[in-house]
Amino acid sequence: MENDFLKRFAQGFSNKPQDQRPSVEMVAISKMLQDLTEVPQEAFGAYAFSREPLRSRIPLEKRMELTRKAIDCGQSCAKKIREKYGNLSPRGIAGKLGLKLKFPQKPLHGGHVTFAQFVAPDEITVFMDCVDKAEELIREEALGSILKKLVVEEVLIAHELFHYLEEENEKTIFTRTEKLELWKIGKLKNTSRIVCLGEIAGMAFAKELAKLSFSPYVLDSFFVYLYDKQAGCYLYHEMMRLTKEWMGLETKE
Residues near 187 by Cβ (< 8 Å), separated by ≥ 6?
Answer: none
Each residue of 181-205: pLDDT tens digit? 888 888 888 889 999 999 999 999 9
Q: What is the mean pLDDT of residues 67-91?
A: 98
**Helix, strand or coil for residue 20?**
helix
Q: What is the mean pLDDT of residues 33-54?
A: 97
Alpha helices in 86-209 (DSSP H): 90-96, 128-140, 152-168, 174-177, 196-209
Q: What's the N-to-C CA distance of the chain in angstroms?
A: 32
pLDDT in the model for residue 186: 82
pLDDT in the model for residue 39: 97
Alpha-carbon distance 111 to 125, whole Å? 14
Domain residue spans of the chain: 23-252
Provide the Cα torsion 55, 56, 57, 60; round to 10°: 70
Least confident window among 78-82, 104-108, 208-212: 104-108
pLDDT in the model for residue 183: 83
Alpha-carbon distance 67 to 58, whole Å? 12
pLDDT in the model for residue 189: 85
pLDDT in the model for residue 250: 62
Prior bond of 104 cis (ω within 30°) = no
pLDDT above 90 (res 109): no
